[in-house]
Every structure is written in structure tokens, then in C-alpha cells.
Amino acid sequence: MACELTKGRQLDCRDIMGGVKNIYFAQHEDATVTASAGEVTDLDITTNLFKYSLPRGTGSFTETIQPSVENGTVFYEPSVTIMLHKMTVGDRNEIKLLAQNRLLVFVELNQVQGNGQNVIWCLGKEHGLELSAGTTQSGAAFGDMNGYNLTFTGAESEPCLLVQSYTASPFDNAGFTVTVSAS
């Protein structure tokens, strides 16, 4: 059988926390991702990688495994949901551009690796993610959220990829040619 299991899994330490710290967007057509054994080993982007910093509790990422016993198929559906506080014309214009593009998305979690750096996952390597749902809301009461709720989804033949450990800042690995721009 070509898909033999290779190992089991023990209970791990309870040393992680949920949530998303930052999201990075690149236009899918402007990026080339090289991967090996489930990890991004090289990333070349001809334009910028755009960083969106998220307040605690306003972002999440899910990857749904979609198997079909009847058809003998399996694919993966990555999904990223973010909240952006405060409605602005600049954000309105940029969200319009996000909605018009296929995107390569990097999700920096609050989860920390052994080297003290945050874990980063790459989503949409093959086909990219697209803005699939979004709302703009003012809120009703003074304490209500004012801003944007956005969901990006995709369909891939492989699970998402882990970005190799970095040293000082995300994407500083040798061979990575990335410029990170704030939104």
C-alpha cells in the first residue's frame, strides 16, 4: 500500500494557546512557494507581503479535511476569519482589492515554537484563498464592534504548510526574498 502509516502520537505538553497574532497576504500569482515534507523551504514574492496585525481574539484559522469514501478522494479546505476594528475609507478600498484577488495567506499563531518564535502556516499554495464572506458593521450600542468581519476560503490537494523556523523576524530564513509592508 502506498500510504502506509509511519508513526503514532503521544499526549503532548499543555503549553500552547489559541488565536492568531498576524495575517500576511500576498497575491497568489506573484508568489512561488517551494515545500518539502510539509514545510515551506523557500518563498519568492515579486511584490510585497502585506501584514495585518490582529487584536487578541479576533482571528482564527481552520482547515477542514474533505474526504469522500464513495469517490475515493480527499481535499483540504483552509479558512481564515478575521475582524478588523474601525471602518475607514482606506480599509474599504483595500478590502475591495482583497475581494478581487486570489491570495496566498500566512497565518502567524499565538502558538510559540521551541526557538521562541511564533508558528506560521502557509495556506493556498496551489490555488489560493478567496474572500468568500464579509460584513461591514457599525454596531448599535457604544460597546459594539465597529469594523469588518472577513472570511477567506480555498480548496487544496494538500494540507497547509508550516513555515520553517525563523531567527529574528518572520520570513527572515535564508533564501526568502520577502518585503513585509504594513496595511
pLDDT tens readout for residues 109-140 = 998 877 778 899 999 999 999 999 999 999 99
Tell me the C-alpha distance between 124 and 159, whole Å. 9
Residue 53 inside a domain? The answer is yes
Task: Give the 3-state DSSP-derived string for 43-91, with helices as H, strands as E and coil as C.
Answer: EEECCCEEEEECCCCCEEEEEEEEEECCCCEEEEEEEEEEEEECCCHHH
The pLDDT value recorded for residue 150 is: 98
Q: Are 126 and 159 in contact (CB under 8 A)?
A: no
Residue 8 inside a domain? The answer is no
Tell me the C-alpha distance between 131 and 95, whole Å. 9
Residue 138 inside a domain? The answer is yes
Residue 7 inside a domain? The answer is no
Backbone angles phi, psi at 108, to 5 degrees: -95, 115
Residue appearing with cell numbers 526568502: 176
Residue 6 inside a domain? The answer is no
pTM of this structure: 0.88
Q: What is the pLDDT of residues 12-71, one digit of tens each?
A: 777 778 899 999 999 999 999 989 999 988 888 888 889 899 999 999 999 999 999 999
The three cell numbers locating residue 158 = 494538500
The pLDDT value recorded for residue 152 is: 98
Residue appearing with cell numbers 484559522: 61
Range of the domain at 65: 20-182
Residue 56 inside a domain? The answer is yes
Tell me the C-alpha distance between 176 and 58, whole Å. 28
The pLDDT value recorded for residue 178 is: 54
Residue 1 inside a domain? The answer is no
Q: What is each CA distance from 162 to 31, 33, 45, 102, 115, in whole angstroms?
A: 16, 12, 17, 20, 15
Residue 39 inside a domain? The answer is yes
What's the number of domains the chain is made of?
1
